[in-house]
Amino acid sequence: MRTSELFVPTLREDPGEAEVPSHRLMLRAGMIRKVAAGIYTYLPLGLRVIRKIEQIIREELLRAGAQELLMPILSPAELWRETGRWDFYGKELFRCRDRHDREFCLGPTHEEVVTDLFRREVRSYRQLPLTVFQIQTKFRDEIRPRFGLMRAREFIMKDAYSFDAEMTGAAKSYQAMYDAYHRIFERTGLRFRAVEADTGLIGGTSSHEFMVLADTGEELIVYDPHGTYAANVERAEVPPPTEISIEPLQPLQKVHTPGAKTVEEVCALLGATPDRLVKTLLYTTDRGTVVAVLIRGDHQANEIKIKRYLGVHDLALADAETVQAITHAPPGFAGPIGLSHVRILADHAIRAMRNMIVGANEADAHYINANWDRDFQVEAFADFRQARAGDPTPDRTGTLHCARGIEVGHVFMLGTKYSEKMGATFLDAHGSEHFVIMGCYGIGVGRTVAAAVEQNHDDKGIIWPIPIAPFHVHLLPVTPSDAIAHLTETLYHDLQRAGIDVLWDDRDERAGVKFNDADLLGIPYQIILGDKGLAQGTVDLKERKTGRIEKLSPSSLISSLVDKLSMGAKA
Ligand code: ATP
Ligand code: MG
């Protein structure tokens, strides 16, 4: 394709609205344009990348035995009421009404619609297993749409659903999708890792997320570089400490800590290290109760673990009035001693501690040498904190490292969560009826594009991995002579004949402008055609990633490129 025929409105300046490199570069490279918050038009260059990723996804899912279908975006409220998600999904669900005042939503995911399809159409175990998928636009009214396609309100997702008669079969279907996801992300050329994940709003029993590794990623993952363990930090279990303090118990003592509210302030005042201090976090649950959770001063609470333990949907740190009402002290001085009418839970690490520093439930006061059991009671010790680098793996065979990632895919084992709620059953060989066992599997297509840019760029622009690049080669004639015009034309046709996607910058622009735009667009190879090279019988082949330039004769150029592109696509 010729640049003059491609609608690619590049920007010289950085757009003010973009906070992360992928968003900034996708706007600058003329790939996307914002229509409203979290709602974008995909311009031709952006759409080419989207289509390439979709193609890889489609091929691998078909290869794994899944069948493509397309469900509607609009779905009736009744289906969502059957599973309880009409209410549970809350404000993230885009809702609307038809002319008869019937309620609908714009699908954020399709478990309800696909389970309804199953219960109407599938009767017998003979029709199982079944896995279906679609690539379609999804809607979620995100509280903070941001980072361009990374967290949009309208976005393209591949969603797949598996149906099995037995648990062993369901585990196989899950594994087949898990393996397909590995092949998909390997084929995109991105660096990624599959991690154990929390099941969130979708629910179910087990799940893995596929993370594209990037320092700017929103997700924190922990992994064992010498083993197989990897998990989202939300999920990563921390085993109880094996070493228990054997310090003799010291007498409890109240100390004056004027204005010292944070861990750092208290430690500075008392000359202690944060691991001697215990934070008493007061949480309000969606049931209106307040719970105290004790966490060691240098550890971070993991609210997902606390929610799961309590079996609640929502949890928030108590506001100042609640803290005052419960502790009779301003925030910053809460402690477990004398705290009544509140459940007291503690992280495993607390069990190993002795002679700790805790708030005294009194302004400007803390206790030193507090000890559980002697000075206060704990209802239960459990895993309530966030894993961090240096912690042991759950089986204690390795040590965790941390990395940042972008969640591009998510696979869930759902079990019978949806089939029970919606009555999706089948008959076995003996004619008895069972609930079908389901799995669901998503990939954010737009988010994968953004993640690819986030992982692969430099200060000049994007550096596309070959398999998802909008074009393979950027043809850049830089001197306006007849000889160059002729050579460019010939190469353009020869490259296309060799099956190479080529973009020809046929604009009447200075070399510098063409070079800058080429680096911004990030097409993996640039062919630079100038009179100087031609006089010596060579053209320059520049690799965008390394900036390395090779001088090649026009006749050897094509075969060299074919080799590089096929090697790059496999890498
Ligand atoms: P997140 O925690 O980032 O909100 P999620 O857990 O809600 O994601 P899923 O319900 O698992 O996401 O959706 C499947 C995939 O769809 C995600 O892995 C992600 O790639 C993509 N996705 C989800 N929300 C968005 C969004 N707002 N914009 C773009 N892609 C999204
Ligand atoms: Mg979400």
pLDDT at position 428 is 97
Does the structure show a pLDDT above 80 at 441? yes
8 A C-beta contact, residue 193 and residue 230? yes
Report the CATH number at residue 362: 3.90.960.10
The pLDDT, as a whole number, for residue 92 is 97
Q: Which pair of structure tokens corresponds to residue 208?
A: 């893995």
Q: What is the distance between the alpha carbons of residues 384 and 379, in angstroms, rounded to a whole number?
A: 13
Has residue 464 been placed in a domain?
A: no
Q: Is the pLDDT of residue 202 over 80?
A: no
Instruction: Say if CB 302 and CB 384 are below 8 A apart.
Output: yes
Per-residue model confidence (pLDDT) at position 168: 94
Give the number of domains in the chain.
3
Span from the CA of 143 to the centroid of ligand 2 (angstroms):
10
Strand partners, 569: none
CB of 157 closer than 6 angstroms to any ligand 1 atom: yes
pLDDT for 206 equals: 82
First to last CA, the chain: 26
Any atom of ligand 1 within 6 Å of the Cβ of 444:
yes
Query: Atom 14, ligand 1: which residue's CA is nearest?
Result: 442
- CATH of residue 501's domain is 3.40.50.800
CB atoms under 10 Å from CB of 200, counted, come to 13
Are residue 190 and residue 96 in the same domain, yes or no? yes
**Do residue 26 and residue 129 come from a single domain?**
yes
Report the distance separating Cα 232 and Cα 221, nearest Å: 4
Q: Best substitution site from 407, 414, 449 to test ligand 1's pocket, by max atoms within 8 Å of Cβ?
A: 407
Query: Using CA atoms, how far apart are residues 210 and 196, in angstroms rounded to an integer?
Result: 9
pLDDT bracket for residue 122 (50, 70, 90): very high
pLDDT (0 to 100) of residue 567: 74
Please tell me the least confidently modeled range out of 9-18, 133-142, 429-438. 9-18
pTM: 0.90
State the pLDDT confidence band at 508, using cuts at 50, 70 and 90. Answer: very high
Asked if residue 420 and residue 513 are part of one domain, the reply reads no
Domain identity same for 260 and 167: no
Structural domain including 291 reads 253-382
In the 3-class helix/strand/coil scheme, how is 349-402 assigned residue by residue? Answer: HHHCCCCEEEECCCCCEEEEEECECCCECCCEEECCECCCCCCECCCCCCECEE
**Cβ–Cβ under 8 Å, residues 149 and 450:** yes
Secondary structure of residue 415 in the 3-state scheme: strand
pLDDT surpasses 60 at 94: yes
* DSSP reduced 3-state for 4: helix
Q: Is the CB of 408 under 6 A from ligand 1?
A: yes
The reported pLDDT for the residue numbered 16 is 87
Query: CB under 8 Å to 5, separation ≥6 — which residues?
Result: none
Same domain, 20 and 149: yes
* Mean pLDDT computed over every residue of the chain: 95
What are the φ/ψ torsions at residue 156 (nearest 5 degrees)? -90, 130
Q: Is residue 248 part of a domain?
A: no
Nearest Cα to 111, choosing from 445, 425, 422?
A: 422
Q: Is the domain of 23 the same as that of 149?
A: yes
* pLDDT, mean of residues 529-553: 94
pLDDT of 341:
87
- Of 361, 376, 277, 269, nearest to 324 (Cα)? 361
271 within some domain: yes
Q: Does any domain span residue 463?
A: no
pLDDT given for residue 332 in this prediction: 94
Tell the residue nearest (CA) to atom 8 of ligand 1: 407
Domain end, chosen from 454, 486, 514, is at: 454
Domain C-terminal end among 354, 382, 410: 382
Cβ–Cβ under 8 Å, residues 475 and 504: yes
Same domain, 222 and 365: no
Task: Return the ligand number nearest the Cα of 145.
Answer: 1
Q: Residue 147: inside a domain, yes or no? A: yes
- Could you tell me the CA-to-CA distances from 131 to 67, 134, 172, 271, 423 in Å, in that order? 6, 11, 11, 61, 19
Residue 391 lies in a domain: no
Give the distance (Å) from ligand 2 centre to CA of residue 52. Answer: 24
- Of the listed ligands, the closest to the CA of 212 is 1
141-194 pLDDT per residue, tens: 999 999 999 999 999 999 999 999 999 999 999 999 999 999 999 999 999 999
Nearest ligand, measured from the Cα of 450: 1
d(CA 402, CA 147): 23
Query: Do residues 302 and 355 both lie within one domain?
Result: yes
Q: Are residues 259 and 300 in the same domain?
A: yes
Å from CA of 26 to ligand 2 middle: 22
Query: pLDDT category, 3, cuts 50, 70, 90?
Result: very high
Task: Render pLDDT for 236-273 as a digit per residue (tens, 0 to 9).
Answer: 999 999 989 899 999 999 999 999 999 999 999 999 99
> Any idea what the CATH number is for the domain that residue 224 is in?
3.30.930.10
Q: How far is the CA of 17 from the centre of ligand 2 (A)?
A: 22
How many Cα atoms sit within 13 Å of 507 on the Cβ side? 18
Write the Ramachandran bin of 405: left for phi over 0, alpha for psi from -120 to 50, otherwise beta: beta
Residue 407 belongs to some domain of the structure:
yes
Cβ of 109 closer than 6 Å to ligand 1, yes or no, is yes
Q: Give the total residue count for the chain.
A: 571
What is residue 570's predicted lDDT score, i.e. its pLDDT? Answer: 55
Please give the residue that has the higher pLDDT: either 297 or 534. Answer: 297
State the pLDDT at residue 374. Answer: 96
Q: Are residues 259 and 114 in the same domain?
A: no
DSSP string, 248-316: PPPPPEEEE-TT--SHHHHHHHHT--GGGBEEEEEEEETTS-EEEEEEETTS-B-HHHHHHHHT-S-EE
| pLDDT on residue 569 | 64
Q: HSE, CB side, 13 Å, CA atoms: give it for residue 220.
A: 12
pLDDT digits (tens, 9 = 90+) for 9-36: 999 989 988 889 999 999 999 999 999 9
Q: What is the pLDDT of residues 389-420, one digit of tens each?
A: 999 999 999 999 999 999 999 999 999 999 99
Q: What is the mean pLDDT of residues 554-569?
A: 88
Rounded to 5 degrees, what angle do the CA atoms 32, 526, 462 make?
35
In a domain? residue 247: no
What distance in Å separates the CA atoms of residue 430 and residue 425, rounded to the nearest whole number? Answer: 14
What is the rounded distance in angstroms from the CA atom of residue 445 to the CA atom of residue 288? 39
Structural Rg of the chain based on CA atoms: 29
Give whichever of 33-42, 197-206, 309-318 has the largest mean pLDDT.
33-42
Q: What mean pLDDT do residues 68-97 have? A: 97
Distance of CA 231 to the CA centre of its chain: 12
Residue 11 and residue 98 in one domain:
yes
- Check whether residue 226 and residue 319 sit in a common domain: no
Residue 529 has pLDDT above 80, yes or no: yes
207 close to ligand 1 (CB < 6 Angstrom): no
